[in-house]
Amino acid sequence: MANIGIFFGTDTGRTRRIAKSIAKKLGAAAADPLNVNKATADDFLAYDALIIGTPTLGDGELPGLECGAQTASWAEFLPQLDGADMSGKVVAIFGLGDQEKYGNEFCDAMADLYDCVTTCGANVIGTWPVDGYTFKSSQAVIDGSFVGLALDQDNQPTLTDERVDAWLAGITPALMAAAG
Ligand SMILES: Cc1cc2nc3c(=O)[nH]c(=O)nc-3n(C[C@H](O)[C@H](O)[C@H](O)COP(=O)(O)O)c2cc1C
């Protein structure tokens, strides 16, 4: 089994594409990215090192049927982790959002992933600076940094590749160490 699990939710496919590009950059250490609408909690909890990605939809929400996404997604998956023990696991989060149209809730859904996995005891790595983005507020900002990598394919698509590379360079050693 590859060592680093990659799980994503998506509505229109952008988060899937980023997940695939992350897997490609990581090479053999990474598992094939899995859409959470096809994953079980056991699939997810099988990994000690995880990269998880989500767009923000609705009004600062996780993707899922309730906010009008085309399929079930993180909103339906996360409750399956209730009570799970993720202590000792390392998790890195990335999120897609639109800072111009949704500047009051930019990439908010990363905060929901963060809350869930930290409640389960996981160690979240890969915080990301807010410099280079223009937005009013985001629940995904804690102590002045995003809890994970914020990407904006609507307004800053040309910055994505270099952001992903810099983020991966920072988190890969800790992911590999956790994966064993
Ligand atoms: C109906 C709708 C609601 C959205 N709400 C938010 C939001 O609250 N915050 C945000 O940062 N981006 C929001 N976005 C932007 C999406 O997160 C962004 O377009 C993302 O790239 C979509 O990724 P996907 O193709 O993986 O679904 C919204 C987009 C749509 C279509």
Q: Say what the pLDDT of residue 2 is.
A: 67
Q: Say what the pLDDT of residue 13 is.
A: 98
Largest CA distance in the chain: 42
Question: Which residue puts its alpha carbon closest to atom 8 of ligand 1?
Answer: 60
Structure tokens at 24: 């490609």
Atom of ligand 1 at shortest range from CA of 61: 8
- How many angstroms is it from 108 CA to the middle of ligand 1? 10
Question: Which residue puts its alpha carbon closest to atom 27 of ligand 1?
Answer: 11
Residues 6+ apart with CB under 8 A from 100: 134, 154, 155
Structure tokens at 37: 């609408």
Atom of ligand 1 at shortest range from CA of 138: 11
Domains of the chain, CATH where assigned:
4-179 (3.40.50.360)
**pLDDT, tens only, 10-39:** 999 999 999 999 999 999 999 999 999 999
Atom of ligand 1 at shortest range from CA of 59: 8
Ligand 1 pocket by Cβ (under 6 Å): 10-15, 55-60, 96-98, 102, 105-108, 153-154
Question: Which residue puts its alpha carbon closest to atom 18 of ligand 1?
Answer: 97
Q: With residue 129 as reference, give the H or E element that holds it.
A: strand 128-129
Atom of ligand 1 at shortest range from CA of 10: 26
Q: Give the SS3 label for residue 159.
A: helix
- How many angstroms is it from 54 CA to the middle of ligand 1? 9
Could you read off the pLDDT tens digit of each residue along the chain, which spans 180 residues?
569 999 999 999 999 999 999 999 999 999 999 999 999 999 999 999 999 999 999 999 999 999 999 999 999 999 999 999 999 999 999 999 999 999 999 999 999 999 999 999 999 999 999 999 999 999 999 999 999 999 999 999 999 999 999 999 999 999 999 998
- Residue from 6, 8, 10, 11 to probe ligand 1 pocket by mutation (most atoms less than 8 Å from CB): 11
Residue pointed to by tokens 């998956």: 77
CA angle 169, 170, 173 (to 5 degrees): 85
Instruction: For residues 57 and 9, give the distance between their C-alpha atoms in angstroms, rounded to a whole number.
Output: 11
* Closest of 91, 166, 96 to residue 128, by C-alpha: 166
**pLDDT, tens only, 1-15:** 569 999 999 999 999
Alpha helices (H) in the chain, listed in sequence order = 14-26, 41-45, 74-77, 109-119, 160-179
27 CB neighbour count, 10 Å cutoff: 8
Q: With residue 123 as reference, give the H or E element that holds it.
A: strand 123-125
Q: Are 179 and 48 in contact (CB under 8 A)?
A: yes
